[in-house]
Amino acid sequence: MSGSALQWSTAAAWRADAGSPEPLPHDFVVDGRCPLCGDAIRVETTGRKICFREGLACPRCRTNARHRAAVVTLLEELHGRDDARVYATEQATPFYVALKRRLSNLSGSEYVRDLRRRLRLTGWLWWHGVRECLHFADLTALKRRDASLDAIVSLDVLEHVSEHRLALRECARVLRPGGTLVLTVPFQESMLQSRRLARVRGDGTIEHLIPEPEYHGDPVSGGVLCFHHFGWDLLDDMREAGFAEACARRVHAPGAAIPQPLWVLVATR
Ligand SMILES: [Zn+2]
């Protein structure tokens, strides 16, 4: 896979080296190959507004550029071990279905408490060739043994978890020493400190800390409340949660149809 990734463990280190990225030309052709399913991805950007993070979907497996940046990172971290014990914090998604074809020991879950919805989503998984039940899991209280996983991949989920530090601690607990957490969030590199947008009160109700609550689209449930805008201190939260190292990587892989560098956070247990 042709590509490159630079990484930084602090905002100061990033600021010291980050020249401004070269702007993309207005009209160009994205021409790459999907690292998940191997299909060709060719998109002409002429006259179109394209989101280089959420767009550029693979025509076969439907993963977007952000998914592929995470996959490129995950596969590098696994050093070709297709039988590694990997957990994804999603399951009823095209990304999970595509990754399951690459990693034989992949497991996943959704934050879906309702049994009837879980049954429906299990049907969706079977329809897509993944013969397993849809599992419920709460990222802040995983029902998994300590040090039982080689890697966790969590894509744009952590910003929807009110107690995100608890979730990071759980990830650190269930990963073996040397195991890796690969995370995407809408990372705001200009912010040193993260900003909390909402919190869950003791009685379970939500307190909004901004006038217009922010909801993000979600393939399983529609709109999901965003609790955080994350900046560089998320890496400190990862280290405090029990990870030995944490860094923010800029993944740039034109050959995987990732024409513009995308942030992927990587923490090693
Ligand atoms: Zn694909």
Summarised one tens digit per residue, pLDDT across range 135-175 is 999 999 999 999 999 999 999 999 999 999 999 999 999 99
The rounded Å distance from CA 233 to ligand 1 centre is: 33
The rounded Å distance from CA 253 to ligand 1 centre is: 14
The rounded Å distance from CA 62 to ligand 1 centre is: 6
Please state which of the ranges 12-26, 119-133, 246-260 shows the lowest mean pLDDT.
12-26
Task: Give residue 1's pLDDT.
Answer: 46
What gap in Å lies between CA 259 and CA 17, rounded to an integer? Answer: 21
The rounded Å distance from CA 66 to ligand 1 centre is: 12
- Which amino acid is present at 181? L
The rounded Å distance from CA 170 to ligand 1 centre is: 30
- Which amino acid is present at 215? Y
- Check: CB of residue 35 under 8 Å from CB of residue 72: yes
Instruction: Give me 113's structure tokens.
Output: 């408490």
Section 11-32 average pLDDT: 80
The rounded Å distance from CA 187 to ligand 1 centre is: 24
The rounded Å distance from CA 31 to ligand 1 centre is: 13
What gap in Å lies between CA 206 and CA 203, rounded to an integer? Answer: 9
- Which amino acid is present at 254? P
The rounded Å distance from CA 251 to ligand 1 centre is: 17
Parallel/antiparallel/unpaired status of strands 175-184 and 149-155: parallel
Element (H, E) at 99: helix 94-100
The rounded Å distance from CA 14 to ligand 1 centre is: 31
Please state which of the ranges 5-9, 19-23, 110-114, 215-219 shows the lowest mean pLDDT.
19-23
The rounded Å distance from CA 37 to ligand 1 centre is: 4
Tens digit of each residue's pLDDT (9 = 90 or more) over 188-208: 999 999 999 999 999 999 999
What gap in Å lies between CA 248 and CA 63, rounded to an integer? Answer: 22
Q: Does the pLDDT value for residue 2 go beyond 50? A: no
Q: What is the DSSP letter of 255?
A: G
- Any idea what the CATH number is for the domain that residue 122 is in? 3.40.50.150
- Which amino acid is present at 3? G
Which among 223, 141, 204 has a CA at the least distance from the CA of 174? 141
Tens digit of each residue's pLDDT (9 = 90 or more) over 206-253: 999 999 999 988 766 668 999 999 999 999 999 999 999 999 999 999
What gap in Å lies between CA 67 and CA 77, rounded to an integer? Answer: 15
The rounded Å distance from CA 72 to ligand 1 centre is: 12
The rounded Å distance from CA 93 to ligand 1 centre is: 13
What gap in Å lies between CA 67 and CA 222, rounded to an integer? Answer: 19
The rounded Å distance from CA 166 to ligand 1 centre is: 33
Section 109-129 average pLDDT: 96
What gap in Å lies between CA 266 and CA 180, rounded to an integer? Answer: 7
pTM of this structure: 0.94
The rounded Å distance from CA 48 to ligand 1 centre is: 22
| Structural domain that includes position 84 | 4-19+26-268
Residues 6+ apart with CB under 8 A from 39: 33, 58, 59, 60, 61
The rounded Å distance from CA 108 to ligand 1 centre is: 19
Report the domain count for the chain.
1
Strand order through the sheet with 258-268:
4-8, 245-253, 258-268, 175-184, 149-155, 86-88, 106-108
Q: Which residues pair with 264 in a beta bridge?
A: 249
Locate tokens 């401004």: which residue? 20
Instruction: Give me 202's structure tokens.
Output: 């003791």
Per the prediction, the chain carries an average pLDDT of 92
Which among 16, 267, 12, 256 has a CA at the least distance from the CA of 165? 267
% of residues, the chain, pLDDT over 90: 80
Which of 11-15, 17-21, 37-41, 244-248 has the highest mean predicted lDDT (pLDDT)? 244-248
Q: Does the pLDDT value for residue 19 go beyond 70? A: no
The rounded Å distance from CA 97 to ligand 1 centre is: 11
Residues 6+ apart with CB under 8 A from 76: none
The rounded Å distance from CA 5 to ligand 1 centre is: 21
